[in-house]
Amino acid sequence: MSYLVSAWKHFCTITKHRHLVMKHCFQVGLYWRGLCHDLSKYSWTEFRSGILYYQGTRSPNAAEREDRGYSLAWMHHKGRNKHHFEYWTDLLPGTRVYSPVPMPTKFLVEMVMDRIAACKVYKGKQYSDASALEYFERGMDASLMHPETKEKLRFLLTMLKDRGEKETFRYIRQVVLKGLRFGDGTVRT
């Protein structure tokens, strides 16, 4: 595949993903997060890797990581986008060890929308409401994510699988983004 074709296809893929996240964020009332989502993917650091490692069926970051042993694009991306749990690490007082910290709710919700959109883009017609939960359960997320964030994410992705997008988005609007407790069994609707 030529460089220009890869560039165009990567641009179309990230733009489609971004627009899906924007649509979903708007549906739950996170307008600013939707507008700002993944703008760093258009930076040269991230876009260049996207062109060089474009495949169309998965993130180019995975291919870059396999080739180089790390992904410069991913490191750039996670350090600028608060909807990635990897952003939320800090030195713990006393231990001076980097550890995960809980994600603020608006970024957790944006992460849910990001995962749904990524699954829709990469799985295409194979997408189902269970796709994002399946991806989460297959991933390495568990060891690097704060337990509270992991519990809440699993709760929302399970709701998506069991109740569908419409009901899950309603719950996010009416419960999660209103600051009511969820994910630990305290709120069930």
Average pLDDT, the chain: 93
Tell me, yes or no, if the pTM score tops 0.85: yes
Evaluate whether 121 touches 113 at the Cβ level (below 8 Å).
Answer: no
CA distance 83 to 145: 12
- pLDDT of 189 reads 43
Q: How many CA atoms lie within 13 A of 172 on its CB side?
A: 30
- pLDDT of 184 reads 63
Domain boundaries, the chain: 3-176
Q: What is the pLDDT of residues 130-146, one digit of tens each?
A: 999 999 998 866 678 99
CA distance 66 to 141: 18
Compute φ and ψ for 100, nearest 5 degrees. Answer: -70, 150
Partners of 91 in the β-ladder: 98
Q: What is the pLDDT of residues 57-101, one digit of tens each?
A: 889 999 999 999 999 999 999 999 999 999 999 998 888 899 999
- pLDDT of 142 reads 65
Q: How far is CA 177 from CA 25, 33, 115, 169, 174, in A?
A: 11, 13, 18, 10, 7
Over residues 144-155, the mean pLDDT reads: 94
